[in-house]
Amino acid sequence: MANLEYLKKTGWQKFCYNFVNFFKNLPHALANFFKKIPLWFKMLGRRIASVFLEVYYAAARGDWKTRMSFVFMGFGQLFRGQVLRGIMYLLFEVVFILYMVFFGWKYLAQMGSLGEKAMEEVWNPDKGIYEYVYYDNSMLILLYSVLTIFFILAFVYVWYQNLRTNNILQEMKEVGKKVPGTKDDIQSLANDQYYKTLLSIPMLGLVVFTIIPIVFMIFIAFTNYDQAHMPPSQLFDWVGFDNFADILGGGVSANGARFAYTFRAVLLWTLIWAVFATFTNYILGMIVAMLINKKGIRFKKLWRTVLILTVAVPSFVSLLLMSQMLSVNGIINSTLMSWGWIKEPIPFLTNSTVAKVTVIVVNIWIGIPYTMLMITGILMNIPSDLYESARIDGAGPAKMYFKITLPYMWFVTTPYLISTFVGNINNFNVIFLLTGGAPLTQSFEEAGGTDLLITWLYKLTFNEQNYSMAAVIGILVFIVIAVISLIVYNKSNAVKNEEVFG
Amino acid sequence: MAEKIKKFRSKRKAEITTNVIVYIILICISVVWLIPYLYLVAQSFRGESTGVVGYMFPKEWTFNNYIQLITDTDTLNFPMWYLNTLIVSLVTCIIQTFIVLATSYCLSRMRFRGRKGLMNLMLILGMFPGFMTMTAIYFILKQIGLTGNLAGLVLVYVASSAMGYYISKGFFDTIPRSLDEAAKIDGASQHTIFLKVILPLAKPIVVYTILTSFLAPWGDYMFASLMMLGETDKFNVAVGLKEMLTRENLPKYFTRFCAGAVVVSIPIAALFIWLQRFYVEGVTGGAVKG
């Protein structure tokens, strides 16, 4: 359909067209997706092949220095003028070997079994009492195994780099090019290789404190680490996909069905909450921003400062305060009762349904100033000639709002909306500080009426030490967020292709 | 001519009515937004009892709650919490600013193998709930013996701060490359360019990063409570103030809670209002397209 014909339709016709088109295009889009898969494998295959090729070159075409580097890392570099790098490679190899021999091998070997015996009571003749002697600690075994695996992967990568560099150096020497020496290397660290200097500490932190913990937790999701299996006094074991089966289908373990039921309910509420929290704040914030920004309204700064106060005061203070004001004998109930509006206190935070509404409303109170601030900043940036030309063409204020302001807003703030939506899925503070995830529901496994996935995770860890289930939920949250992000990302890319507004 | 004047007058009337309505709405909004804080401040001066009551203004006004907040430290040690949070946020702020600025500058300005892969990796890592890393870090720190220790908490906050590069990177991207190139022609190394050319231009985003990384530990409940399991002295203000509101503590500590909340909020609010220009610039400049 030509662009002109599309634009000529009314809003409703456009919607029908888009709707039908989406489903018409679906098989085509899917076919495209599946067509791309073999290409992806081809690319992957090429990458892997190049790695092996590199090693082969080093073995077949390398001179004696390169071949020695197979065993002694850094050998080639040392003898070709890159003293510092050579020493660093060699040092790394030595450290790795020492680590594996004295430490890593022990734990890696036990990774499959996660320990044979946890502890034993032993009679201590000197002190005359029974003492506990600890043997295998499942958690430490898993932890150190993960560490060791990372170390091994790092070693393989560095060894490969070592060979590759040797190949390059050898070729450079053969052609007669000058090899950058140690002094050149150090100087370039402040220049071409500055990224290595700047990124070294952040990346170290990232790997040690983010990647390794996440991998460790992913492994824990496949064990049965909970209160009944608590190192150092007990062992825990691999249970494969049992935890996942429990929470998604229910029925493998004793508590399985309860977990599955709780999970479904909590997931549903988390999604509903995220949608409401994000969009109420957005729309109402936009309305307030436009009210304040309207021509003819004075004291603009005053109104904005009043609302900014809510942002300036730390949100946990506001939330804790609200939790008291809305309690059964808090001030809001007391005032309403003294005015005679209600006979009994409204259970703002203790009735499951009312609590859900309360939480959304309080979130509006806290969140509108944020959105208002941002939208005001954007509103001021809309080029005014758009409005001028519209007015010349005879558009009224309502039409200008729907055709200029709204589309511009939407386009510019889509990334913000996505990140806020994802952030609200994980919005721990608002729910926990306000209601504590209450009211605790009998049919749920350690969860309440307003619990999000993240607060449920917290409770499982804090109150029940059910780490394995908590890890499973963490992984599922990740999957939810990843799926949503992928869908929105792809859709916004597709929209960009036929973007009418520039 | 009379027609025109009449039309103008009726239009003016309509405009004035809308404005009045808008003013009324704005006043209502302001009142509703401010009442809870008025309640908080009023309650912190209440003298006749210390639990939750159903009326707003105290019958006896006193400074007692504030005095007790600072002096009565056997069970709930507010000054200690305040100091803890202050130290943690100062250290976190310094380290985190360095990490975020370094990472975002690199990703924005330098091109190297694995740059795209790194950004995608951090995107994916960010999708895991921060909670998972926290539990694992707790175990790791327990082995080293850093749990129940402020250093451990700082480590947790700072650990994944590299992933917060997105907004700063967006800001750096808007600084024209021609500046870099001009400096390079004059013989500057990347290091010099970063410190002497780009950073001075990036003042808004630097202030934004410092502000957000300073304010974050004050409001964090989840990590602080898990790190300092049971050690009341090491709580931060968020965990501590919530502790005052548990069922056992509430009747005795509510007014003190209000006093504590006021003491915490005033410096932070003042800091935020003073620097709000940078906050808005940061959010609209780096986070939002166009």
> Is residue A87 located within the same domain as residue A140?
yes
> Is residue A230 located within the same domain as residue A260?
no
Task: Give the nearest partner residue to A374 out of B29, B225, B284, using CB atoms.
Answer: B284
**Radius of gyration of the CA atoms of chain B, in A:** 25
Domain count within chain A: 3
> Is residue A203 located within the same domain as residue A102?
yes
Q: Does A389 touch chain B (CB under 8 A)?
A: no
> Is residue A35 located within the same domain as residue A160?
no
Q: Which among A141, A142, A195 is the top mutation candidate for probing chain B, defined by the most B β-carbons within 10 Å of its own β-carbon? A: A195
> Is residue A320 located within the same domain as residue A441?
yes
Range in A8-17, A34-43, B264-273 with the lowest mean pLDDT: A8-17
As a whole number, mean pLDDT of residues B63-75 equals 79
Contact call for A324 and B52, based on CB within 8 A: yes
* pTM strictly above 0.95: no
> Is residue A215 located within the same domain as residue A338?
no
Residues A352-401: tens digit of each pLDDT: 788 888 889 888 888 888 888 888 877 777 777 888 888 888 877 777 77
CATH of the domain at A395: 1.10.3720.10
- What was the pLDDT predicted at B91? 92
Q: Does A402 touch chain B (CB under 8 A)?
A: no
Q: Does A321 touch chain B (CB under 8 A)?
A: yes
Q: Which H, E and C letters describe A111-145, residue by residue?
A: CCCCCCCCEEEEEECCCCEEEEEECCCHHHHHHHH
Judge whether residue A265 has pLDDT over 70. Answer: yes
Residue A3 lies in a domain: no
- What was the pLDDT predicted at B94? 92
Q: Which residue has the tokens 């758009």?
A: A386
Residue B198 lies in a domain: yes
CA angle A422, A424, A428 (to 5 degrees): 125
Residues A467-480: tens digit of each pLDDT: 888 888 888 888 88
Last-in-domain residue among A19, A36, A53: A53
Up-side HSE of residue A410: CA atoms within 13 Å toward CB? 14
Q: A492 falls in which pLDDT band (50, 70, 90)?
A: low
Smallest CA–CA distance, residue B32 to chain A, in Å, is 9
Contact call for A310 and B273, based on CB within 8 A: no
Q: Does A320 touch chain B (CB under 8 A)?
A: yes
Judge whether residue B56 has pLDDT over 60. Answer: yes
Give the domain extent around B198.
75-287
Please tell me the distance from the alpha carbon of residue A470 to that of residue A217, in angstroms, as a whole number: 9
> Is residue A66 located within the same domain as residue A197?
yes
Contact call for B36 and A321, based on CB within 8 A: yes
CATH of the domain at B192: 1.10.3720.10
* Listed residue (B96, B73, B74) closest to B153, CA to CA: B96
Query: What is the predicted ipTM?
Result: 0.82
Contact call for A140 and B143, based on CB within 8 A: yes
> Is residue A80 located within the same domain as residue A159?
yes
Cβ contact B80:B239 at 8 Å = no
Amino acid at A301: K
Calculated CA dihedral for residues B257, B258, B263, B265, nearest 10 degrees: 110
As a whole number, mean pLDDT of residues A139-162 equals 85
Please tell me the distance from the alpha carbon of residue A245 to that of residue A486, in angstroms, as a whole number: 25
Q: Which H, E and C letters describe A328-359, residue by residue?
A: CCCHHHHHHHHCCCCCCCCCCCCCHHHHHHHH
Cβ contact A437:A455 at 8 Å = yes
Please tell me the distance from the alpha carbon of residue A144 to that of residue A103, in angstroms, as a whole number: 9
Smallest CA–CA distance, residue A124 to chain B, in Å, is 26
**First-to-final CA distance of chain B:** 46
Give the domain extent around A39.
9-53
Window A:178-207, CB contacts with B under 8 Å: 190-192, 194-195, 197-199, 201-203, 205-206
Contact call for A412 and B288, based on CB within 8 A: yes
Range among A88-97, A237-246, B94-103 with highest mean pLDDT value: B94-103
> Is residue A159 located within the same domain as residue A265?
no
> Is residue A277 located within the same domain as residue A349?
yes
> Is residue A100 located within the same domain as residue A31?
no
Contact call for A209 and B122, based on CB within 8 A: no
- How many CB pairs below 8 A link A and B? 262
Residue A246 lies in a domain: no
Contact call for A325 and B261, based on CB within 8 A: no
Residue A228 lies in a domain: yes
- What was the pLDDT predicted at B92? 92
Residues A49-102: tens digit of each pLDDT: 888 887 887 777 777 777 777 777 777 777 777 777 788 888 888 888 888 888
Q: B289 falls in which pLDDT band (50, 70, 90)?
A: very low
Task: Give the nearest partner residue to B26 out of A292, A316, A324, using CB atoms.
Answer: A292
Range among A53-67, A145-159, A196-210 with highest mean pLDDT value: A145-159
Residue B170 lies in a domain: yes
Residue B121 lies in a domain: yes
Average pLDDT, chain B: 81
- What was the pLDDT predicted at B90? 92
Residues B199-240: tens digit of each pLDDT: 888 888 888 888 888 888 888 888 888 777 777 778 888 888
Residue B57 lies in a domain: no
Q: At what angle do helices A467-497 and A406-425 cross, to 10 degrees?
A: 170
Q: A500 falls in which pLDDT band (50, 70, 90)?
A: very low
Domain count within chain B: 1
Q: For residue A156, give both structure tokens.
A: 């393989």
Cβ contact A145:A108 at 8 Å = yes
Residue A118 lies in a domain: yes
> Is residue A418 located within the same domain as residue A275?
yes
Which residues of chain B make contact with A288, given a CB cutoff of 8 A? 29
Task: Give the nearest partner residue to A217 out of B99, B106, B135, using CB atoms.
Answer: B135
